[in-house]
Amino acid sequence: MGRYTGDLNWLTARPIAHRGYHDMNNTVWENTLSAFDRAIAHDFSIECDLQLACDGVPVVFHDDDLSRLCGLMDDVRLLTSRELAMKRIGGTSDAIPSLRVMLDRVAGRVPIVFELKGRKDEDDGFAGAVLEELENYEGHVALMSFDTWLLEELIELDCPYPVGLTAEGVREEKFVEHEKAMALSLDFVSYGILHMPNRFVTGIRKNGTPVITWTVRTPDMRQRTEEEADQMTFEGFDPDTA
């Protein structure tokens, strides 16, 4: 079991919209305020990604650079949060929001699961900056990452929120890595649905650790989640009507 002592049932109570409830980047793009508004309107929890701007401010963005989403070659880590806030996503009116702007928009109306996107040896202050922005936020929040060094830092900083491992893989050496991370007394796991079922996920669920999946896009993936996990992170459909 993990180190978080509060009620964690909210994490699995509702489907989790992957990078917000976007429409596969047609008119509502991923990790935007519009995608978060749409998730709130449907009462879906939100999963989103955090990067660190060069001024030490966490921003909501998935990629390391702006090429796919903004048509620019800039590296996120080389721009300030103010500069990023002027970069339009997909030609829409949405720009790259800071964590603070996103929190003000959601305002506790639905739970948020943040994934910290790390870069080895470039993450000094990242975990602390995220926790500082979250201080006094009134709403359900969880933090997760693929990167063990960020999970370690969150725990060293006495993170008051659930901390989880983002993971994937089917090979034994990956399971050994995951088990080493779980020795940090993590509170939940988000596992790639394409690599389930597997002995690692089965084992931690038997120990009472909640598991959410990513990223569910088909009925088969959804059924596998229902059989092997506790909730899904989804995109491309409406779980309430599909």
Question: How many structural domains compose the chain?
Answer: 1
Residue 242 maps to a domain: no
**241 domain residue, yes or no:** no
Identify the burial level of 41 via C-beta atoms within 10 angstroms of its C-beta, where 0-12 means exposed, 13-18 middle and 19 or more buried.
exposed
**Alpha-carbon separation of residue 217 from 25, 35, 75, 162, 214 (angstroms):** 14, 17, 29, 26, 9
Residue 1 lies inside a defined structural domain of this protein: no
CB 159 within 8 A of CB 150: no
- Percentage of the chain modeled with pLDDT above 90: 98
Domain-located, residue 26? yes
Q: Which one, of 111, 72, 88, 104, lies nearest residue 32 by Cα?
A: 88
Domain with residue 148: its CATH number is: 3.20.20.190
CB 210 within 8 A of CB 4: no
Instruction: Give the count of alpha carbons within 13 A of 4, CB side only.
Output: 22
Domain that holds residue 84: 10-234
> 1: pLDDT confidence band, cut at 50, 70 and 90?
confident
142 in Cβ contact with 210 (< 8 Å): no
- 220: number of Cβ within 10 Å: 10
Domain assignment present for residue 17? The answer is yes
Q: Is residue 188 part of a domain?
A: yes
pTM of the predicted model, to two decimals?
Answer: 0.98
pLDDT-based confidence at 242, cuts 50/70/90?
Answer: confident
Residue-level length of the chain: 242
Give the mean model confidence (pLDDT) for residues 50-57. Answer: 98
Structural domain includes residue 92:
yes
Position 124 in a domain? yes
pLDDT by residue (tens digit) across 164-209? 999 999 999 999 999 999 999 999 999 999 999 999 999 999 999 9
% the chain with pLDDT above 70:
100
